[in-house]
Amino acid sequence: MSKTINIYEVGHKIAQGEASIDEITLFINSLLPEAVNKVNSLFAPRQLAKRDRTIEPLPTSKRQLSSYRTRIGTMLEYALSKHMDDLILKMFGVDLRLTFAVAHEYPDFFVRDAVLGKRVQIEMKAMDADSDEQSARFEVLSSLINAEEDLVVLVGWAWRNNVLDNGTPYEYPEIFSYVVVPAIELAQERDTSVVLRGGRVDENGIFVPSKKLPGELTPDPHNAGKILRLVHQSRKVDLFKLSAHIRLICNLSSRFQVGPRNKG
């Protein structure tokens, strides 16, 4: 987004629990350019490097390839969070820190204050541009989201080819785009799409029209929350009716569709 902030002022407001969700979004967004650069220039080329595909091909079975992509995405997310916390430590010392959420559930990370109180919750989704399904999902119910504290960071990555100094061809995953959005906006846009498709969202879950029983609803088979298909086509007719954050997601989706390997 085009707005700028005083990152020190907002960081201290976050530590005191006084920052708005817009300020929190801008704060996290301001950390990402340098953190992404560190991942792309240091971590990924060294620790995620592999021989080119003529020597070291990717898995061919759908299940193994999905697991492979998930593992790489997780490592990129954790590396990105590590470099983000390095920046936070440099600026705020013990007053703020970015920590992992140990439980395997929403969210992935917390921004904690000096006494380890949770001030911000962050869910991060790393999406492989070569994936046909582009199947990163956001399925957390709106009722479980803190609208004033919860963020989603969407990260697009693609394989980059390079050559070592000794002439060895290799490849590694490189982040080519990212978006930071309040979690509640993402959830509400998803819920709107579900309703436009004839479904329903309530405190018990997401329900969509049944393919086997016309006129009946069935629990969503993990399709409604797919990030890059989240905005209903009818809502894309006039993008300026969407929020600024949802427009950024539409832009990210379009970048996946035009051939990520050619993005430079």
Confidence of residue 62 (pLDDT cuts 50, 70, 90): confident
Residue (of 137, 135, 133) closest to 106 by Cα position: 137
| Tens digit of each residue's pLDDT (9 = 90 or more) over 85-131 | 999 999 999 999 999 998 878 999 999 999 999 999 999 999 998 87
Asked whether the beta carbons of 220 and 227 are under 8 A apart, the reply is no
Q: What is the pLDDT of residues 135-147, one digit of tens each?
A: 688 999 999 999 9
pLDDT band at 3 (very low <50, low <70, confident <90, very high): low
Question: What pLDDT is recorded for position 103?
Answer: 80
Maximum pairwise Cα distance, the chain: 64
Has residue 180 been placed in a domain?
Answer: yes
- pLDDT tens profile 163-216: 999 999 999 999 999 999 999 999 999 999 999 999 999 999 999 999 999 989
Answer yes or no: is pLDDT of 264 > 60.
no
Number of domains in the chain: 1
- pLDDT at position 134 is 53
The answer to whether residue 179 sits within a structural domain is: yes
Phi, psi (degrees; rounded to nearest 5) at 214: -55, 135
Q: What is the pLDDT of residue 239?
A: 86
Q: Looking at the domain assignment, is residue 2 inside a domain?
A: no
Of the candidates 135, 145, 8, 157, the residue with the CA atom closest to the CA atom of residue 73:
157
What predicted TM-score, i.e. pTM, was given to this entire model?
Answer: 0.91
Domain encompassing residue 114: 7-262
Residue 108 counted as domain residue: yes
Q: Is residue 1 part of a domain?
A: no
* The pLDDT of residue 66: 85
pLDDT at 137: 87
Question: What's the mean per-residue pLDDT of the chain?
Answer: 91
